[in-house]
Structure 1
Amino acid sequence: MNEYFGKKFRHNPWDDYLMARRVEIETPIVVLLRLWRAGAPIMELNGKSRLNNNCDMKNRSMNKIYIPVLLCSALFFISGCQLQPNQMKADLDFLFKTIEEVHPNMYAYISDDEFGQHRKRLYGQINQPLTRAEFYKLVSPVVAELRSGHLRLWPPKGDFRATSSNVFAIGLRWDGQNAILKENYGPENLPLGGKLLEINGQDANSIIYKFARYTADECKNADPWIIERADFLRFYLWLEFGDAETLDLKIRARDGKEGHCTVTAFPARKLAKRVKDNENKWSYRHLPEYNTGLMEINLWQNTPQFNEFLNKTFETIDDNKASNLIIDIRDNPGGRSPPVQWILEYLTDKPFRTAEKIETKVSKQFLQATGRTLEEFRRMLGDESIEFGRVIIQNIHLRKPVDKPHRFGGNIFVLIGRQTASASVEFASTIKCFNIGVLVGEETGDATVSFGNTFSFKLNNSGLRFGVPSKLGFQACGKSDGRGVIPDYEVDQKPEDTAEGVDTVLQFTLDLIRNGGTVSDIQLAD
């Protein structure tokens, strides 16, 4: 049977987006190494069992079997062993059956007949053995045809990590038409802010759109902004070019000159040391020259640690007597909803709601995740007529914030962008809908009406994971037009600022504060 993770699944920011930062796929070799490091009873050497003291004799025979199974499984991923057509088709059967059962409206953006043609062609292409990566490249664009942002097949990043110790240490930004070179952590001197024209002699935009087709955006079957996620970009480059040691990049610099640059694959371990990963996911600093606090939140985590961070941060803001607060969620793909409620209670004393309504599909998988039986769910809602497949509509009422000792009463500015998704859209839409603050930056990546609350599943034969949303959420003042939250001031990162290491959006906001909240002397981005 295929495995359903339900409650045990760790919520990922593609959903409450992910979910993802991503759920990472652990290869069996990683599990094996963890067991060995933990001193687990896993194998015999020279006829002597290496067992923990609390292991009984019954476990010894199992230990002899366990390690060879793990090693064989690990070799499947590392050596690129191939899946047979019947295995892949069985995985596809489970994939589409699960989507139909869990998704509130699988055909919201495409007809059953049209998607059926995509699915038929996919099954027809499964006619020879394929590696996991090859299987992923075929299936993921078909899933994306459903145009549901939180519905996706997760890339086999574990295969990438297991087979490649080097990565291409570049960062890209998508300006809506072109890929802009944003970062380079390698030794090469690259023209930051330049437009990427070619990769290894191939048109760069064609390659970017191939990457985009592996991931849907709400109402769209492609998401070119996915290249701004460094982990996905590195994986997609490996997926396209394998274990290449170099890439030839043709770049048009800001002065209009075109040239070729060779980028060498960089050791992943060294890259990890160079890249500021911000493991805490949240930070705060005071900018005394602007009498402003700057808070960065890169993931909404439903943890006591995040709650404590908020408590201490707003106490510090109070002590500093800051007149302005900037909250940067441009790189926040989502997380959990409760932390959004927590911070809003520090920002307003007026009633608010983070959603207008939520539509939830009742499925076996949904109930398993919530730990309830159908009978218990019926009793909870007081409706004995509820059956599997029914969509329950919940209208959300205004809530009055609880009193907070250090509630902020100054000017609030929230920075948003294309990587602002899921629970972060929930936050941004509430800020705008209830006039709590001013939004600066780019339109959010997720729409204000979108499917979410994703559950994760695993395909039995390939081991690939996929996420399926179980709810349709209407954010505060959300509209069913496929658009994200529109900022009050639309500001794009300028290529010339990228070259100079200047954050265009943040600097615009600081200038806005300096000018007393007006834009009379500020040049908006084109």
Structure 2
Amino acid sequence: MRKIILYVFTLLFFSQCSSVKKHNRHLTELIPIAQLKSDVDFTYKKLQKLHPNLYWYISKPVLDSKFDSLKSTITQPIAPLAFYKKLSPVVAAVRQGHTYVYPASPQMTKKETKALIKKGTGPFSQFDFDYFDNKLYVVNNKSYNKSIKPGAEVIAVNDVKPMDLIREYNNYYSSDGYNSTLKTSKSGKRFSSYFTAEKGIKDSLIYTLKYNDSIQQITIRRYKEDSIKKKEQKTKKIVTATDRVKSRELRRKKRVNGYNADSKNYNRNLHFLEKDSSVAIMKIRSFSKGNFRPFYKESFREIDNYKSNTLILDLRDNGGGRLSEIVDLYSYLSDSTFVFLDKSEVVSKSSLMRAAYFNGGSLGLKILKAIYAPIIYSYLLLTVHKASDGKNYYATHTRPHRVKDLAFKGKIYVLINGGSFSASSLISANLKSSKRVTFIGEETGGAFNGTVSGFMPVLELPHSELKIRIGLMAMVPSNKTEIIGRGIFPDKEITPTLEDKLKGNDPELNWILNNSKASIDLLSKEK
């Protein structure tokens, strides 16, 4: 038995190595013209077959013309990355942020990945970058070279000008609709991935930096902290009952709040600013990681116990997540019984079954899916119906929901920016209908009137082996606006500056605190 297990393990290991080598070799190969055009047709056919609202922001004749024009520009064999740069702008023209083409990029085996991690932190990961006024800045220096000051402008990296790369790659993806705040919010954080797509992973980089009119070139190498510590006498730590209780509490907090080991922070947080706890702040980084139901139940019980009259919901840079979570959160914020979504348009039952359910996974998982397929298909038969308009709709969260007993009744402020996308825009759209809610910050990156997301299979193009992700459900909030293709606009627009970032200022939060304090003082005087 041991020999059999060893044989299977060896087979899988060499199979993975062979697959990775084949993929990486393909990245440098020129793809014949006929195969490239075939992949263009494949992409458009999949979009038409799976995307329920393909012509939301672009007409069919215009999109037809774009795909035809694309094929006419393919006059010679090209490599996958060059093909990505031709294909992705056409897909981005659909203006649906969840639907995009992935750039061609090298892969590594598990062994190579482990070896790279062992070598230490890469030269990009030693800094945090951000984008202000069409320039890239270092906003946090985590490198071994402490001479680099936060606020230094990045003029070039290995002679590559950041703005050239950012402007180019901004053509390869889209927000939902016509807003520009998503790209402004994401450009600085995505620069390193753009560079890596072009140049690969590097162990050292030459940064050209500008600070106070002084320009310098600094080489940053992959860095590993010295893990060798002085040997100390090993002593057994006595674990007390209190230690065990604290350990259990910490493990539970990580499960409920959603702990992110990479950034070393929690996905959900609640704290109170005022001494009398009149102002509660709930920061939600995404609607994904963690067991959300106990968090919201316990948080709103605490808010109720403290009799807080102001709640600040911070959704800045919240890229979305689970629909079930935002509906649960909304049930603590709504004024009355509510319907969260209209019925979600889908192309067909089979688009959900074939493209989403059976897409991806290992051989074992596919076998398991096949076993449960009759149950899933029966569920889709009950939930997907053709309406009088001839379209198919998937009913999810379309029934009336009751508000929770602990629902908050006071004043609500919502912090938003261009990084507020997908699910965070859906809940913001519904909150916009309440007179108790005031929005502060920037226009959201997600559209007010909904998005095409839900199930989002990733499909591989046959010849170029590029991958495309396609949203399958048009999810529309019950509250809508007449302004087509734009996000949720703030009631008070505030855009942080580079100086705010460097000094740790939070102008949006400060405005709310000053405003809410003035309101409280005014009420007390009236009494």
TM-score, with normalisation over the residues of structure 1? Answer: 0.72
Q: In structure 2, what residue type is equivalent to 1:306?
A: F
Could you say if the C-alpha distance between residues 321 and 79 of structure 1 is closer, same or farther in structure 2, counting changes exceeding 3 Å? Answer: farther
Secondary structure of the structure 1 residue equivalent to 2:414: strand
Instruction: Say how many residue pairs are matched.
Output: 453
Map Cα deviations across residues 427-475 of structure 1 (whole Å, 9 max, x no partner): 1112221234221111101111233324212315565432212233333
| Structure 1 position 345, deviation (Å) | 1.6
1:104 maps to 52
Which deviates further from its counterpart, 83-92 or 371-380? 371-380
Q: d(CA) in 2 for partners of 1:385 and 1:490?
A: 42
Map Cα deviations across residues 87-143 of structure 1 (whole Å, 9 max, x no partner): 65555443332111011232443444544554356555484463x555544433332
1:9 maps to none
Please say which structure displays the higher CA radius of gyration. Answer: 2
1:294 maps to 281
Pairing 1:246–2:205 present: yes
Q: d(CA) in 1 for partners of 2:39 and 2:476?
A: 32
Report if the CA contact (8 A) 1:198-1:251 is conserved: no
1:233 maps to 191
2:5 maps to 51
Q: d(CA) in 2 for partners of 1:518 and 1:268?
A: 54
Equivalent runs, 1:261-300 vs 2, <5 Å? 262=218, 264-267=220-223, 277-278=263-264, 280-289=266-275, 291=277, 292-300=279-287
Pairing 1:483–2:470 present: no
**Where in structure 1 are there 5+ consecutive unaligned residues?**
1-40, 42-47, 53-59, 520-526
| Structure 1 position 419, deviation (Å) | 0.6
Report if the CA contact (8 A) 2:50-2:351 is conserved: yes
1:18 maps to none
| Structure 1 position 507, deviation (Å) | 2.6
TM-score, with normalisation over the residues of structure 2? Answer: 0.72
Pairing 1:311–2:269 present: no
1:364 maps to 350
1:407 maps to 407
Report if the CA contact (8 A) 2:157-2:207 is conserved: yes
Could you say if the C-alpha distance between residues 375 and 156 of structure 1 is closer, same or farther in structure 2, counting changes exceeding 3 Å? Answer: same
Equivalent runs, 1:146-165 vs 2, <5 Å? 146-155=94-103, 159=107
Equivalent runs, 1:20-169 vs 2, <5 Å? 49=3, 51=5, 65-77=11-23, 82-83=28-29, 85=31, 91-112=39-60, 114-116=62-64, 118-120=66-68, 122-123=70-71, 124-125=73-74, 127-128=76-77, 130=79, 133-155=81-103, 159=107, 166-169=122-125
Match of 1:173 among 112, 130, 148: 130
| Structure 1 position 64, deviation (Å) | 6.4
Pairing 1:503–2:506 present: yes
| Higher relative contact order (Cα pairs below 8 Å, separated by 6+ residues) | 1
Q: d(CA) in 2 for partners of 1:269 and 1:96?
A: 49
Secondary structure of the structure 1 residue equivalent to 2:456: strand
Report if the CA contact (8 A) 2:40-2:67 is conserved: no
Match of 2:183 among 207, 215, 224: 224
Which deviates further from its counterpart, 155-164 or 92-101? 155-164
| Greater helix fraction, Structure 1 or Structure 2 | 2
**Where in structure 2 are there 5+ consecutive unaligned residues?**
227-259, 358-372, 523-527
Secondary structure of the structure 2 residue equivalent to 1:142: helix
Pairing 1:514–2:510 present: no
Q: In structure 2, what residue type is equivalent to 1:452?
A: S
How many percent identity over aligned positions?
21
2:474 maps to 472
| Structure 1 position 267, deviation (Å) | 4.6
Map Cα deviations across residues 179-234 of structure 1 (whole Å, 9 max, x no partner): 4443332234444346555555555432211121221122359863363574x332
